[in-house]
Amino acid sequence: MSEDEHPVTGLPTSSETYSPGDAVALQVDALKTNDDPFENAGIMTAYNFASPANRRSTGPLDRFIAMVESPQYRPIIDFGEAVRGSVERNENYAEQRVTITGPDGRTTTYEFGLSVQSVGEFRGCWQTDRVGVV
């Protein structure tokens, strides 16, 4: 997928009206029902919220999908429950932890790191720079 095909149309994407918590919630909610309304729509929504720097290191889209389907991130797809922690915000940077409970009852905690974009199409929008397992 080339940069001018980002964002994936028809799916939630960054907006100046979204707080960092909103951006995380939209991604997590989409990943919970990954194949609705079509295959990998949840992962594509997460890709829509990925910052340009994040997409440079994890993209293009096919590679991003493969990464999210890897063992490290697989628990965040089609999970049972998500508990979002408080948003820790410092000016143009924010972090939020999300604990996922899978269908097997196992939990995995992820930390989303976001920043406000200062240039480009999504200037003023919170986008995800990284997601790591805590």
C-alpha 26: how far from its chain's center?
8
- Stretches where the chain sits below pLDDT 50 are 1-4
Report pLDDT for 48: 98
Tell the CATH topology of 17-133.
Nuclear Transport Factor 2; Chain: A, (3.10.450)
Please write down the long-range contacts of 9-12, taking CB distance under 8 Å and 24 or more positions apart: 11/41, 11/44, 11/45, 11/48, 12/45, 12/48, 12/49
Instruction: Return the closest-CA partner of residue 45 out of 13, 20, 17, 21.
Output: 13
Written in H, E and C, the secondary structure of the chain is CCHHHCCCCCCCCCCCCCCHHHHHHHHHHHHHCCCCCCCCHHHHHHHHHECHHHHHHHCCHHHHHHHHCCCCCHHHCCCCEEEEEEEEEECCEEEEEEEEECCCCCEEEEEEEEEECCCCCCCCCEEEEEEEEC
Report pLDDT for 104: 86
Report pLDDT for 103: 79
